[in-house]
Structures are given as structure tokens and as C-alpha cells.
Amino acid sequence: MTTDVTLSLTLPAALAASLRKEAAQRGWTPENIILDCIAQHLEVALRHRVVLERMEQVDAALLQLAQTVGEIEAAAEAVEPGALCRYRPDRDAAGIS
């Protein structure tokens, strides 16, 4: 169950007057504009954190992959890169021989 959060906001007089004027011209309340702005900024902040988290997961997976390839390479005398992955240096960019 979600509960409402109470927030107190103090704006400089000039900004508050501008906000009231713009809100009145559009038939909105200053409070609704402020709530929309806060909601939008929180959404952006949450998405940013998710992107950073995913980047860290990708970095960790790449590090693990590099370590695995290093272990395989150390265990074998000569490893052909094509035996480890789909990369084929003899194919062009379209993947056609």
C-alpha cells in the first residue's frame, strides 16, 4: 500500500509569482505544475540509476568473459579465436565469406 508523502517547498517571491501567473493562464494550479515537475525529474533520476546499474552488470559480465577467455588461453598452447566465439576474421562486415 502506498502512502502520500508531504513535502514543504519554499520558492523565491519572483519565481512563485511567475509560477502563479503561468498556471493561471493555463487553468492549472501552481501545486499541480510543481507536482508534475517533481514527478518528471524523479522518473528521469530513476531511469538514470537503472541505466547505471545495467552498465555495471554489463561491465561485470565482460570482465568475467575476459577472465574466462584468459583461463582458456592459459590452459591451451594455441587457441584459435574462431573456436571460442562467432568472430571470423575471414568474413566481411555482412558476415558473408
* Model confidence pLDDT, tens digit, residues 17-48: 999 999 999 999 999 999 999 999 999 999 99
pTM (2 decimals)? 0.56
Q: How far is CA 14 from CA 10, 11, 19, in A?
A: 12, 8, 9
Averaged confidence pLDDT in the chain: 86
Please state the three-class secondary structure of 30-90 as a single string.
Answer: HHHHHHHHHHHHHHHHHHHHHHHHHHHHHHHHHHHHHHHHHHHHHHCCCCCHHHHCCCCCC
Check whether 11 has a pLDDT greater than 60. yes
